Amino acid sequence: MSRDPDLIDSADTLFARLRARCEDDWAAYCEHAFVQGLGDGSLPEAAFRHYLIQDYRFLVHFSRAWALSVYKSDRLDEMRAASRVLSAILDHEMGLHVQYCARWGIGLEEMERAPEARANMAYTRYVLERGVAGDALDLQVALAPCTIGYAVIGRRLAALPGALDAANPYRDWVEMYSGEAYLESVRETVRLVDRLAERRLTPARFEDLVETFRQATRLEVAFWDMGLGCES
């Protein structure tokens, strides 16, 4: 059982403070039509398939960002925390994603061959740029709408009537991002962000982090738009 069962929803974390400053953008992200379609099963299959292919390409750059987080960290506990996430993506999540896509008739070769959508490129390169230009805290704040946001979305969808019913073709997606294994990994990320903030955050810097968080959240919205519209 988690030591912090409500940490993701806690109002005492840096993530919560950033989210509170970006309420409208956060709502647009978590309550997007793409997300709603996952919960009630109404999302067109073509949109989901497009999203899955782009999400594979996203995970490649997501792994690069976590590798950068290891490099940008200057304490062993922070390096180990980032390394655990990187290992989980490369050695576990990527394989699961490939298996999951195969169930939708999408092979690895198709995903490798597919060009990156512009929204995908904009989002992933923004995260990497913030990490290269800034420090480990800048990078983790840029990652937070994805790393922590998917848990918020997953739990919200799981609470909706019918979302976990067998009739919902996206039930497995909801189960994955609302499952305890994923939630505990997200709690560790929340703790990592707070540990970084303990040594690096100042009142003046907080405003810069708000802008990073807001921009990353808007790019998440654009990623949903890309999936919904099957945009290249």
Residue in 78, 146, 230, 231 annotated catalytic:
146
CA distance 193 to 140: 6
For residues 123 and 222, is the Cβ–Cβ distance under 8 A?
A: yes
Residue in 175, 220, 230, 231 annotated catalytic:
220
Q: Give catalytic status of residue 146 as yes or no.
A: yes
Q: Give catalytic status of residue 110 as yes or no.
A: no
Long-range pairs of 112-117 with CB within 8 A, sequence gap ≥ 24: 114/53, 114/54, 114/57, 115/232, 116/54, 116/57, 117/54, 117/226, 117/231, 117/232
Strand, coil or helix: what is 148? coil
Tokens of 40: 């009630």
CA distance 150 to 3: 20
**How many residues does the structure list for the chain?**
232
Query: Dihedral angle at the C-alpha atoms of 32, 33, 35, 38, nearest 10 degrees?
Result: 180
Q: What is the CA radius of gyration of the chain?
A: 17
Going by C-alpha positions, the residue among 210, 173, 216, 199 that lies closest to residue 55 is 173
Q: In the chain, how long is the greatest CA-to-CA distance?
A: 50
Active site residues: 146, 220
